[in-house]
Structure 1
Amino acid sequence: MPPSALFIDGTSTVHRTYHPEPVRPKKPFPWAALAFWGLVVYAATGVYTVSPNERAVVRRFGRVLPEIRQPGLHFGLPWGLDRVDRVRVSEQKRVTVGGSIVDRDLGRPTDQQGAEYLTGDRNLVQLTAVVQYRIADPKAYLYHAADVPKVVADAASASLARAVSGMTVDAVLTTERPVVQQFVRDRAMMELRGYDLGVEITGVTLERAAPPREVQEAFRDVTAALEDKQRLVREAEGYAASLKPQTEGRIEQILAEATGYRESVLAKARGDTQRFESLRNELAAGRERIERRLLLQTLEEVVPRMQKVMFDDKTADRMELNVFEAQP
């Protein structure tokens, strides 16, 4: 029976029955739903995207999968089972050989010994080069070396030392810089292929080439002298080019005069030949008359405007030719 209570109020007594509230059972915690949604969220960690300028390499249980993920949406195992490593294959990376260009531009101290190389004529030269490269094989780039930029810089530095060791210091500082850059690119690329780092060198730029600080003033004088030499050579070539048309015209004039003189000599020779041929024919017809005429022509040329007298050794009489009369 439910408990009762007695209440006395003045002259009356009231009996009331007490009914307690019923106890409601507690709802169980939704562990199953929580686990389900937790599994859904965990499975969603296996969904990932690859940007257009990226490639992704997947490690599943620590083993590298052979397929390289291309740009787009991909599905894999949840986090912890699959590890996704992304690399930017279209990005141009760069390393500096022989000191930091940023430190140099900001006036910070740099390692001068690291930038000095020995040339073929046993001179020291300070060189700073920038090597640009890109990722060609993401898997090799990620897992074949712990510090790829350092390996690239070391290969370029060794190639740079080999390049300048066969040149003179003047050639390195002035005319052979493009040759040095091309040699370093080809040689370093050959070494990196042997290491299989998955990178490709796209360019090498020799940013700085200078003698050591102690002899910079002397090298400036040498450089100025070489520039003066090149300037004088250019001026001489320009002067020669300006004289060339005039010289060619003079040559043509001399050739024309020589050709005219040759033609005149040939014409005179032909005339003399014809004259002597006619004299020979005449001489055959009348030898004494021709000899007399030739003698008179010769005398006219040798002693002009004089009276000419001929003597015969067989007679004492003189013979007056009376070809010319004596001038008063």
Structure 2
Amino acid sequence: DFNQRLNRLFSGKRGGDGGPFRPDARGIGLTATVVGAIAVLIWLASGAFIVQEGQVGIVTTFGKLSHIARPGFNWHWPAPFQGHETVNTAQVQAAEIGYRANVRNKQPNEALMLTGDQNIVDVQFSVQYKIKDPVAWVFNNRDQAETVRDAAETVVRELVGQNKMDTVLYEGRDKLPIQAREAIQRMTDRYQLGADIIGVTLQSVQPPDQVVAAFEDAGKAQEERARARSEAQAFADDILPQAKGRAARLLQDAEGYRANAVSVATGNAARFDKIVAEYAKAPAITRDRMYIETMQQILSSTSKVMIDARTGTNQIYLPLDRLLAQSTANEAARSAGSGPMMAPPQPQPAQPQAQPQSQPQAQSAQQEAPANGESARTRDLRSRDTSRERESR
């Protein structure tokens, strides 16, 4: 068999006369064929490779792109004819600028940047990206990760140089990652790198270590200003609706007062027009009626004491306590804007005193009372005659 032939081939086989070894030509040819076949199989097997899920294989022929291998078992002609390179297109990779692995491990040459107002800030950030074009990633650039890092550092330095220090540290800090991601994507596309920039994360943005304490005080002042502004805005949001409500209420009250005043004035004007028409028909009657209505209105809201001058009483009794009480109640009712006042109490009949007056005094009182009543009626008649004469003129 095969093993025996190998033993005979390599073992010391001598001739029958004890001469030197003479190999069998047939055995040598068969062995060489077998060894060559095994070597060829091993060489062909070296062209087999497996592409994992989320990866692609770039197969080249003498360094030139041949085809793209998909996930699974693949084979290509072994070297030196063909070769392959596996590219992970699903993994998110990160490029760190200003530090390595930890923010404490600073890289000053990358982190220190100059602002637009000639100040220095320490910026540490990372760029997350994925490979979107594996062919461009493999063939268009030699050191792809370093290219991404250089592009990111260039973009951020340019953005920092376009802004003032306070903008980079405070007001524009949230906008910087967004602007940086867009600019880095444009630059990598211009390089045809085949990378998709997912985002930019600021790890640290601060002044140099030598002036950190001073800038912390400035930051506290900025926070205090923001807090005061927020409180003022909250106060304005609270007081403005109240002021607007009061203004609207005053406008409604004024509108109601205007409508009421116009209505009252219109009513009075209409009533006056009717009175003028009636007065033109019968002036004396209309004047007497107006006088009576006016006196009725006046006397209905005042306290009155009715005295019968024709009766011969010795003494007049006035209920002053009730009159004062009723006057106080009427004043309170008018000030409170209540309804119509109560009618004044009727005076009690005069009560005679225990000791009557003398006869001459009683007779004098009886004579003065009719005289006073007669004089009052005479004055009323004279005033009416005078007014009639004026109207006739």
Same fold (TM over 0.5): yes
Partner of 1:72: 72
Partner of 1:308: none
Work out the number of aligned pairs and report it. Answer: 283
- How far apart are the structure 2 equivalents of 1:323 and 1:116? 114
Structure 1 pair 165/279, CA: closer, same or farther in 2 (3 Å)? farther
Q: Which secondary structure does the structure 1 equivalent of 2:129 belong to? A: strand
Q: In the alignment, is residue 61 of structure 1 matched against residue 62 of structure 2?
A: yes
Partner of 1:84: 84
Partner of 2:157: 161
Q: In the alignment, is residue 321 of structure 1 matched against residue 322 of structure 2?
A: no
Partner of 2:389: none
Q: Which amino acid is the alignment partner of residue 170 of structure 1?
A: D
Q: Deviations over 1:172-211 (max 9, x none)?
A: 2123223211111111111111111111111111221112
Q: Which amino acid is the alignment partner of residue 321 of structure 1?
A: D
Structure 1 pair 220/287, CA: closer, same or farther in 2 (3 Å)? farther
How far 1:45 moved relative to its partner?
1.2
The answer to which structure has the higher strand fraction is: 1
Structure 1 pair 194/277, CA: closer, same or farther in 2 (3 Å)? same
How far 1:114 moved relative to its partner?
2.8
How far 1:292 moved relative to its partner?
8.7
Q: In the alignment, is residue 34 of structure 1 matched against residue 5 of structure 2?
A: no
TM-score, normalization by structure 2: 0.62
Partner of 1:104: 103
Pairing partner for 1:228 from 220, 224, 229:
224
Structure 1 pair 242/42, CA: closer, same or farther in 2 (3 Å)? same
Q: Which secondary structure does the structure 1 equivalent of 2:171 belong to? A: coil
Greater CA deviation, 233-242 or 70-79? Answer: 233-242
Pairing partner for 2:253 from 247, 252, 257:
257
Quick check: 2:110–2:153 contact (8 Å CA) kept in 1? no
Structure 1 pair 267/85, CA: closer, same or farther in 2 (3 Å)? same
How far 1:216 moved relative to its partner?
2.1
Quick check: 2:206–2:212 contact (8 Å CA) kept in 1? yes
Q: Which amino acid is the alignment partner of residue 89 of structure 2?
A: V
How far 1:255 moved relative to its partner?
4.3
Q: Deviations over 1:231-273 (max 9, x none)?
A: 2222233334444665565455434433432332122222222
Q: Deviations over 1:134-155 (max 9, x none)?
A: 1122222122222122221221
With a CA cutoff of 8 Å and minimum separation of 6, indicate the structure with the bigger relative contact order: 1
- How far apart are the structure 1 equivalents of 2:247 and 2:231? 24
Q: Which secondary structure does the structure 2 equivalent of 1:117 belong to? A: strand
Q: Which amino acid is the alignment partner of residue 140 of structure 1?
A: A
- How far apart are the structure 2 equivalents of 1:216 and 1:278? 92
Quick check: 2:103–2:124 contact (8 Å CA) kept in 1? no
Q: In the alignment, is residue 203 of structure 1 matched against residue 210 of structure 2?
A: no
- How far apart are the structure 2 equivalents of 1:56 and 1:135? 13
The answer to which structure has the higher helix fraction is: 2
- How far apart are the structure 1 equivalents of 2:109 and 2:50? 46
Quick check: 2:56–2:69 contact (8 Å CA) kept in 1? yes
User: Residues 235-274 of structure 1: matches in 2 within 5 Å?
Assistant: 235-243=231-239, 246-247=242-243, 250-251=246-247, 253-274=249-270
How far 1:288 moved relative to its partner?
7.0
Q: Which amino acid is the alignment partner of residue 65 of structure 2?
A: V
Unaligned runs of 5+ in 1: 1-20, 306-318
Q: Deviations over 1:53-98 (max 9, x none)?
A: 2111112123222x2111122221123221111111111111122x
- How far apart are the structure 1 equivalents of 2:23 and 2:261? 142
Quick check: 2:56–2:68 contact (8 Å CA) kept in 1? yes
Q: Which amino acid is the alignment partner of residue 226 of structure 2?
A: Q
Quick check: 1:159–1:183 contact (8 Å CA) kept in 2? no
Greater CA deviation, 30-39 or 252-261? Answer: 252-261
Greater CA deviation, 42-51 or 243-252? Answer: 243-252
Structure 1 pair 114/295, CA: closer, same or farther in 2 (3 Å)? farther
Q: Which amino acid is the alignment partner of residue 77 of structure 2?
A: L
How far 1:164 moved relative to its partner?
2.6
Q: Which secondary structure does the structure 1 equivalent of 2:79 belong to? A: coil
Structure 1 pair 289/125, CA: closer, same or farther in 2 (3 Å)? farther
Q: Which secondary structure does the structure 1 equivalent of 2:42 belong to? A: helix
The alignment yields a C-alpha RMSD, in angstroms, of 3.4
Q: Which amino acid is the alignment partner of residue 44 of structure 1?
A: A
Partner of 1:95: 95
- How far apart are the structure 2 equivalents of 1:208 and 1:285? 102
